Structure 1
């Protein structure tokens, strides 16, 4: 099947009816040119940055350098130890022979376990070294991107929240302008007060919908006139779903609705600008150094007033979250944390039971009528290999949108920050529910009583369960790169959907572009999915070293495949210049600590007296994390003034910078800008306008 997918990709990739370069150029033209220098952290993670093309990506490097030592040393040590009989295999499934190549084959308290102790340290040292190198490399890429002479609107803007009430007789805009002009008299340009755009946005979206319908109706009419010069204009009924109601001329009806909505929009725009101002604003500076400096300064002695951060790109702003107050954001954040914790806990229950139930022995016990089918060797092999993994993948597919919703509910102001937050939640879901949940769930029926009697025994059960699930996770990793990468490369499902839409639904070029648009790389789910594979491979790298080649293949194919997809298929929806990296670094260290604690537990299960030798490892990891945070992280929170002070290739047009931040619903439908002069310039004392 995977060979077929690759062949389909090679055949279909350059066909004009499948791939239209102008679509890509049109979509990518909306992105900053500097995207080619650093497409966020995906270029480091997946090896698409120019400087990283010649080196392995981080995860691949960890597994390659670990495997160089672990495979030739640990496999012979394990396979030549005959202290445990083959009948006492620890694995579940049809791959019991793999036990002979795992740490479970080595006898308890045996001297051969020293080799696995050294291997545990080796994997940790390799990870420390490569993480350090990667952090330095990403910092350099971020610095070069921020030093670009290209003009980026967001570098001249700060986001101000928690603005206190204005004095009597003073407008909100006057309050903001006077506050920042007093602090930055030479570099302050103007401010833009955030407004409640709910109503005006509703009218704007309705207007845009009718414009699309009008363009579609005109295209249908023009097409029909080619075959029949006397063709009738398109018509439709105005009632429910166009099925009932008065029949009208579509083109005339849409034109009338557009004129009506434009008038409503202009009235609502004026009302919004004057009467729906919020306690947040965007403040513009004529120097990007001044904006960067302002974003890092404390502007009020009380932390819940005049809160300032650097502004994201205009396309990233989540306008509804900007006015949320300091304490509201904190409360929302902790409420979301509680919801995530409860969701993880309750999600672990069905995943644990699914893991337990989808083992064939338990499945036959619950559904005896399946026994004749399951007993057939070919079917049994396939079911044992893939049934639990498929059930797990389906469960995980339900999460991303829910986690994105929760992240937005925190009051986060930008799409890139929401993506990072959702990515972190998805990572903890994956590790706790998949790695730990499946590990415990596989022995749930046999170990439930012991955990119930002694809750502290859960750590012992986890350590004892790891070897039993080695083959499950090995086939899980294999399934991910065989099926997942095959579908990713061929994109056969999106291709079929595109052609169906193009043939039966799309009538104008804009609709064809919309149907073709591939979206972005999907950072919120892709990084956690890769981190789950890294967690699995890292935690089993010493217990069952044979899993390392599978990890190498997964990330090696990912480096080749996603490099192509990132550069030639996906269109980035935002640019945050590497701010995802510190989060990835933190997750990788969390994975490393989990691996180290797991190894301590498993050596304890093996009754190996020198096990305390491993106890310093988690402490080393915490110290390493602390050093990295102090040395590198600040630069990813705020731009360094040394970097941002480089000259631009031209003097920025501040009016264009300002207008790029005006929401579409407030800038659309105007016959001219004169009637909105107050919104686009400094207001007078008699006008309380803002944007």
Structure 2
């Protein structure tokens, strides 16, 4: 990419950023948009609609930027939970790393590279020169200036590791504090038990009751069996779609009658009022739902899985961490997610179905990664003007226009790549949802990991190496010791107003950030090792070897010191919290409600009215204990 193309891209991006900031500043002030920009404040009664005209509404302002940074961690914790705090800490950590990298990169390394003599540069025509003049490629082979880059690798590694340790320690401390301050939560007392064996003459329900009554008599409280509700879930989904369609019809010219045919596709049959027709269909669907709910409640097929609740957190933790049976494939326990976090559709899947799903997801992710190479290679072709003219000679005349060529090579590639990337997270979330996870948070964490590795491969490796990787593929395979050198040669060439948390993981997303950062550091070390060897400075290359070793040892220490706190709370915390609750009069009511906390939502009786979106009530008041 040429320097002029980069400057054009920076100018376009900067102008677009200012435009979006201006539009947001104006649109957020309009009364009609308050449900978009502050729905949570409206729901909590903290903001009210005002139709009074005000000229200030039409003028952009930057005060919201300052207010966005004003809330303290405590404010964010109370409004968005610990996950909201962790998200903000991720932003802060990233800004600190990026700021340090900018200071070192632009303030120190860029001038060193620019003053090198390895590349022949005509400074009189600098805008039309390649960006390689600002990279380490321009530093002379064997130059002592390369030791500045070597020092930067060590210093950067040390700073990032320090920031990682600080954040890990801070967030783990917040996690313990948040646990002590929290009220009793159902998932703290409940386990999901799978692989329930079926005894002769007993149902799964009877097996669970007899097993936990016998082996956990002092702590076992109750359980709820999971049942086959696939058909019921489909009926409820159809009911909700029809209800939304009916509400939409009534909101459009309610006084005007609309008609349709009650036959196939609305083309045949009697001519009927469309609203009355949909209301009748909704009543029929609701009746089918109630009939199916009653059938599932009385004689529905049980799944070999149950939510088992205990009288104390410690009792739940003991049952979680000890093997329940001599057969490790039976009575498998895992921490239950929050009731609102449970992902119900996959409970009905068998072991074989879950195994096949995982295999299908792996293959799908691989295919998606490979197919994404097509736009990546295309984008890389746009950045090379000469290559673009060679492949598309009919564009030669257009590309001769300076501004057009700068936009195509400088701005268009990143725009195309970002447009393609917007499709990746939804696809990864969909793939994770069929992988066998029983919680929405588990699906999201899995999707985040998939997106992370997808980005590392396609945006870093494939994007950087696409101009050389395919032509050098066989040399990489035949000579794996040259991979670092090949890589080195190719590289230089918030929350408060809008979102209401649906579930709380207690900051479990932070370890993903830590692990990905460690991976990035190791990758940087490998690149530095190959790069210094390529630049004829073997001593610096050799001195890079301790870096990944020390980084991995640091990561191992952090994993042992902090990661267990993110997996489970220690016995010390659980027992202290249980003792506090013994004197809480509300604990009795909590345990009573815990018995039905994990009821399948599809077994709740949905009732719709013209005034609201509906409400749910238990179909039956019976309990399974």
What corresponds to 1:623 in structure 2?
553
CA distance in 2, matches of 1:403, 1:27: 32
Alignment of 1:267-666 (within 5 A): 267-273=291-297, 274-324=299-349, 329=354, 332-334=357-359, 336-348=361-373, 350-356=375-381, 359-443=384-468, 457-468=482-493, 565-610=494-539, 611-644=541-574, 645-646=576-577, 647-648=580-581, 650-651=586-587, 652-666=589-603
Residues 380-436 of structure 1: CA distance to partner in whole angstroms, max 9, x if unpaired? 111111122223223323322322232222211111111111111111111111111
Decide whether the 8 Å contact of 2:343 with 2:439 is kept in 1.
yes
> 5+ residue gaps in structure 2?
1-15, 46-74, 608-614
What corresponds to 2:215 in structure 1?
183
CA distance in 1, matches of 2:245, 2:119: 73
CA distance in 2, matches of 1:434, 1:444: 14
More deviation in 665-674 or 606-615? Answer: 665-674
Q: For 1:434, what is the secondary structure of its paired residue?
A: helix
Decide whether the 8 Å contact of 1:196 with 1:277 is kept in 2.
yes
Answering whether residue 162 of structure 2 is matched by residue 129 of structure 1, we say yes
What corresponds to 1:668 in structure 2?
605
Give the number of the structure with larger relative contact order, counting CA–CA contacts within 8 Å between residues 6 or more apart: 1
Which of 239, 258, 262 aligns to 1:238? It is 262
Following TM superposition, by how much is the alpha carbon of 1:316 offset from its aligned partner in structure 2, in angstroms?
2.1
Residues 448-486 of structure 1: CA distance to partner in whole angstroms, max 9, x if unpaired? 786698676554332111111xxxxxxxxxxxxxxxxxx
More deviation in 454-463 or 265-274? Answer: 454-463
CA distance in 1, matches of 2:279, 2:423: 41
Distance 1:210 1:434, change over 3 A: closer
Aligned pairs, number: 563
CA distance in 1, matches of 2:207, 2:477: 62
Following TM superposition, by how much is the alpha carbon of 1:262 offset from its aligned partner in structure 2, in angstroms?
3.4
Alignment of 1:133-144 (within 5 A): 133-144=166-177
Alignment of 1:140-219 (within 5 A): 140-165=173-198, 167-216=199-248
CA distance in 2, matches of 1:107, 1:672: 72
Distance 1:635 1:427, change over 3 A: same
Distance 1:67 1:271, change over 3 A: same
What corresponds to 1:503 in structure 2?
none
Which of 16, 26, 30 aligns to 1:15? It is 30
CA distance in 2, matches of 1:372, 1:396: 31
What corresponds to 1:24 in structure 2?
40
CA distance in 1, matches of 2:512, 2:616: 45
What corresponds to 1:549 in structure 2?
none
Decide whether the 8 Å contact of 1:44 with 1:58 is kept in 2.
no
**Taking structure 1 as the reference length, what is the TM-score of the superposition?**
0.74
Q: For 2:181, what is the secondary structure of its paired residue?
A: coil
Following TM superposition, by how much is the alpha carbon of 1:663 offset from its aligned partner in structure 2, in angstroms?
2.3
Following TM superposition, by how much is the alpha carbon of 1:267 offset from its aligned partner in structure 2, in angstroms?
2.6
Q: For 1:299, what is the secondary structure of its paired residue?
A: coil
Residues 298-330 of structure 1: CA distance to partner in whole angstroms, max 9, x if unpaired? 212322111111111222222232354567645
Q: For 1:46, what is the secondary structure of its paired residue?
A: helix
Q: For 1:579, what is the secondary structure of its paired residue?
A: coil
Distance 1:101 1:42, change over 3 A: farther
Following TM superposition, by how much is the alpha carbon of 1:606 offset from its aligned partner in structure 2, in angstroms?
0.5
CA distance in 2, matches of 1:374, 1:15: 43
CA distance in 1, matches of 2:87, 2:38: 28
Decide whether the 8 Å contact of 1:94 with 1:384 is kept in 2.
no
CA distance in 2, matches of 1:136, 1:315: 29
Residues 531-582 of structure 1: CA distance to partner in whole angstroms, max 9, x if unpaired? xxxxxxxxxxxxxxxxxxxxxxxxxxxxxxxxxx322233434321111111
Decide whether the 8 Å contact of 1:94 with 1:381 is kept in 2.
no
Answering whether residue 96 of structure 2 is matched by residue 61 of structure 1, we say yes
Distance 1:86 1:238, change over 3 A: same
Decide whether the 8 Å contact of 1:78 with 1:106 is kept in 2.
yes
Residues 575-607 of structure 1: CA distance to partner in whole angstroms, max 9, x if unpaired? 211111111111111111111111111111101
Q: For 1:278, what is the secondary structure of its paired residue?
A: strand
CA distance in 2, matches of 1:672, 1:413: 22
> 5+ residue gaps in structure 1?
49-55, 225-231, 469-564, 683-691
Decide whether the 8 Å contact of 1:40 with 1:580 is kept in 2.
no
CA distance in 2, matches of 1:334, 1:674: 38
More deviation in 565-574 or 249-258? Answer: 249-258
Q: For 1:57, what is the secondary structure of its paired residue?
A: helix
Following TM superposition, by how much is the alpha carbon of 1:353 offset from its aligned partner in structure 2, in angstroms?
4.7
More deviation in 438-447 or 665-674? Answer: 665-674
CA distance in 2, matches of 1:157, 1:205: 28
CA distance in 1, matches of 2:618, 2:521: 60
Q: For 1:281, what is the secondary structure of its paired residue?
A: strand
Following TM superposition, by how much is the alpha carbon of 1:97 offset from its aligned partner in structure 2, in angstroms?
7.0
Following TM superposition, by how much is the alpha carbon of 1:609 offset from its aligned partner in structure 2, in angstroms?
2.0
